[in-house]
Chains A and B, each alone.
Chain A
C-alpha cells in the first residue's frame, strides 16, 4: 500500500507576525516613558530634577546613580511643576562610609529639616537682607561644619558640590562659592552637576 506523503508547505504565518509587530510597538510605547522617569528624590518632589539641570556638550560621562562623597547642595523649587516657584536648598551630607546615595541623603535632609526656602526675588535683595535669610545661614553653617570635620588642610580635592535646576539664579550659586572662598585655599573650588546632552545644544 502506497502511502501518500503529504508535504506540509511551510508558509509565512503573516497574521501572527502582524500581531507580534503590534505588540512590540505597544511595549516600546509603554516602556519608553517609564524609563525616562527617574528615581524619585523624595520630599515635595524634586521629581524630574534631572531634566531641569543645565546641560553640557562635554562627552565624559558619569553614572547618575551617585554615592555622595562630599557636602552637596541640591537646589530645587517648592513646586516641582512650577520652575518659577521659590527655591529650596537642601543640604546633603555624606556619611563617613561613602555609602549614602543621593536618594538616601535627600530623605535624610528632609527628615532632619536640613533645607530652607529662598523667597521670591531673593536675587534682588540687598546684601544685608540676603545674608540674613534662613537659607544663607544654613549654607554657611553646613559648610563651616563640614569644613571643620573634613577639610583639615588646603587641598585641591576639598570640594563642595551643587546640583541646581538650570534656571537657578546665579546669586545662590555665587553665595555658596563665596562662603567656600572665605576659607581660602582650603576649599579652592565647587563642583556643579550638569546633565549630559547628546546633541550640540547649548545650555538647554
Chain B
C-alpha cells in the first residue's frame, strides 16, 4: 500500500516538474531607413549605464540658449548646445526606465496620441539593453508608441553639423519650437 502511494506521488512530482517551462517571445524591430526622421523622444545609449534622453523639454532648453548665444559662430554654438544637452539630459538607467514607464502611462491614458521613440545605440553596447527598452515601450495597451533603432554614438551627436530649433506649425495652427539635429 505504501509502495503504491509512493509511486503515485513520484508520478505526480515528475509529471509536474518537466512542465516548468522556459519560453520565448518575439520582439519586432523595424529595419532602419536612411531618411529624415521625426520623433518625440530620442534615446542615445552610451558605453556606460547612462543615456541621453531628449524630449520636448530639450527643445525649450536649446531655444533659451539660442536666444542667449545666437551671436556665436555655428561650430561654437553647436558645442555649447551639445554641452547643455549633455548636462541637463543625461539620465541613469533607473531614471530612463522610469521615464519610459511614464511615457507608457501617458500613451495608455491618451489612445489617440501617437509617439515615436528613436533609440540610438553604439556598436559595442550589448543588445539586451535595446531589448529591455523596447519591451517597456511596446507594453502599451493601444500600441500607440512606435519605435526605431539605429546605430549611433554620443560623439556623432557632438560632431553633428547643426543643433538648433525650428519653428513648426501643427494642423491646428499651433506653433512650437522643435529640436532639429543634422548629422
Contacts and interface: CB of A to CB of B under 8 A. Distances in A.
Given A38-B22, A50-B24, A54-B132, A169 B127 contact: yes
Interface string B14-37: 100110111111111111111000
Contacts, number: 158
A95 B102 CA distance: 44
Interface string B66-97: 00000000000000000000000000000001
Interface string A160-196: 0100101111111110011011000001111111111
Contact of A53 (B24, B33, B34): B24
A69 to B, nearest CB: 10
B155 to A, nearest CB: 13
B159 interface: no
Looking at chain B, what size class is its interface with the partner chain?
Answer: 35 or more
B138 interface: yes
Interface in B141-171: 149-151
B68 to A, nearest CB: 37
The B interface, classified by DSSP as helix, strand, loop or mixed, is mixed
B183 interface: no
A136 to B, nearest CB: 13
B129 interface: yes
A109 B10 CA distance: 40
Given A35-B17, A170-B151, A187 B26 contact: no
B27 A171 contact: no
A159 B128 CA distance: 20
Contacts of A190: 28-29, 31
Contact of B25 (A50, A124, A167, A196): A196
A27 B131 contact: no
Given A58-B25, A61-B23, A189-B29, A169 B10 contact: no
B11 to A, nearest CB: 10
B173 interface: no
Contacts of B123: 123-124, 169-171, 174
Given A170-B151, A191-B26, A196-B23, A35 B18 contact: yes
A102 to B, nearest CB: 10
B181 interface: no
Given A20-B9, A202-B132, 8 more contacts: A23-B10, A58-B139, A170-B125, A190-B29, A191-B26, A191-B29, A196-B23, A203-B132
8 contacts: A23-B10, A53-B24, A56-B25, A56-B135, A62-B23, A171-B123, A171-B124, A189-B31
Interface of B: 2, 5-6, 9-10, 13-14, 17-18, 20-34, 97, 121-132, 135-136, 138-139, 149-151
